[in-house]
Amino acid sequence: MKQIDGGITAVEGFAAAGIFAGIKKVEKPDLALIFSDTVCTVAGVFTQNRFPAPPLLLNQKHLRKRKGQAIIANSGNANAFTGKQGYRDAEAMAEAAARALTIPIESVYVASTGVIGEFLPIEKITGAVPRLASQRSQSGSRAAAEAIMTTDTFLKEVAFVGPMGRQEVKVGGIAKGSGMIHPNMATMLAFLSTDAAIQPRLLQDALRQAVDRSFNCITVDGDTSTNDMVLCFANGRRGREIRSKGPSYHQFSALLEAACLALAKMIVWDGEGATKRVEINITGAQSDRAARRIAESIARSNLVKTAFFGQDANWGRIVAAIGNAGVPVDPERMDLSFGPVLLVGKGAYQGKEAESKVAALLRQREIDLRVHLYSGRGKATFWTSDLSLDYVKINAAYRS
């Protein structure tokens, strides 16, 4: 497979747009549209937060038919914890898009991101939809990606092309996310397109697996949002329909996972106020599940993350996070390394010279942390960021 330009509209048959509709306090794009000129098979994965926002409830209703043709998304207001009025507003967004695009309302999916607990300025949104629909184009991916940003510092789009059977297929996508990022989904939206032909159940399976290995392996601050979702639209223009989990399915799954992982890394690399990008690799655990729990425990530890920000080789905090993961570990058989530098070998601190080398590595933006446990074949990888002073400043001022 190879990466290509074009984002979500790199896939033939998809168009997108992004405009300023007056939702945000400053004049920045805040309303996005993604549209397929044919009906698509749709898969979706949603937040595990117990207070899902009205747009998610509407989408789960529309997803029962596994079909769709459009996504309308706003930033600047989450339409979350807004009760029956919030649900009516989500329906109004879908209805306005359906009318402008001349498609059934059940074919429209809705997303919102921003401040929780405030009602949408729904008249502004529905009034702007005709203009939004008229501006959709096959080069509109970047505009749509910009329109779903909140505290993001850069837009996030990606596209890949790769083999599926005897043909090549594409997967494109856009995402937003910077804070409130944690496994079980995060404060993020991700929308994906593909020209693969695949049965609905298999598309859902492929998306769940891709999400579990990407968006559910990142953390910025340990918080989970009310609005997270990943939607994948497949218009079926390329290849024979995938009907079983054979070679073509696995080729498509790898392509979808690559797109999701690329977007997930962009999200964690854009962590609010982040100055470090950290990849955590756990090997030699009793099982993959045990390795995942250890990786997550390290990745979400505020003490570890602040040490990364301070460029402090405080390995004791990492060891404490490993011991806090709730899985059996023999401390006398554990290795802990930063890049090529072994800091803890078979449970023993390797001394000031090793720590000095690690301190030099911590001055770099990219940090590679490796833990080997010598107790099995389990492995896992997580991605996280440091926790900086700017994170506090950004979130203290978020609503002002």
DSSP letter string over 206-261? Answer: HHHHHHHTTGGGEESSS---SS-EEEEEEEEEEEEEE-SSSHHHHHHHHHHHHHHH
Instruction: Tell the CATH topology of 277-396.
Output: Ubiquitin-like (UB roll) (3.10.20)
At residue 93, the pLDDT reads: 98
Residues 262-294 have pLDDT tens digits of 999 998 888 777 889 999 999 999 999 999 999
Give the lowest-confidence range in 23-27, 129-133, 148-152, 208-212.
Answer: 148-152
Instruction: Tell the CATH topology of 2-269.
Output: L-amino peptidase D-ALA esterase/amidase (3.60.70)
**pLDDT (mean) for 164-193:** 80
Does position 186 have pLDDT exceeding 50, yes or no?
A: no
**pLDDT (mean) for 3-23:** 98
What is the pLDDT confidence band of residue 400, given thresholds at 50, 70 and 90? Answer: very low
State which H helix or E strand residue 174 sits in.
strand 167-177
C-alpha dist (Å) from residue 271 to 49, 100, 236, 335 = 20, 36, 35, 28
Residues 352-398 have pLDDT tens digits of 999 999 999 999 999 999 999 999 999 999 999 998 887 777 767 65
pTM: 0.91
Does position 185 have pLDDT exceeding 50, yes or no?
A: no
The residues that are catalytic are: 187
* Residue owning tokens 């690690």: 358
How do beta strands 348-349 and 341-345 pair?
A: antiparallel
| CA–CA dist 338, 369 (Å, integer) | 5
Domain residue spans of the chain: 2-269, 277-396
| 3 state DSSP class of 311 | coil
| 3 state DSSP class of 145 | helix
At residue 395, the pLDDT reads: 66
Q: Between 206 and 179, whose confidence is greater?
A: 206
C-alpha dist (Å) from residue 21 to 38, 126, 129 = 27, 9, 9
What is the pLDDT confidence band of residue 332, given thresholds at 50, 70 and 90? Answer: very high
Residues 342-358 have pLDDT tens digits of 999 999 999 999 999 99
**HSE of 231, CA atoms in CB hemisphere, 13 A:** 31
**What is the pLDDT of the chain when averaged over all its residues?**
93
Does position 225 have pLDDT exceeding 70, yes or no?
A: no
Q: Specify whether the CB–CB gap between 66 and 43 falls below 8 A.
A: yes
At residue 222, the pLDDT reads: 54
**Chain centroid to CA 32:** 17
Does position 194 have pLDDT exceeding 50, yes or no?
A: yes
Q: Residue 23, exposed/middle/buried by CB under 10 A (0-12, 13-18, 19+)?
A: buried
**pLDDT (mean) for 129-150:** 97
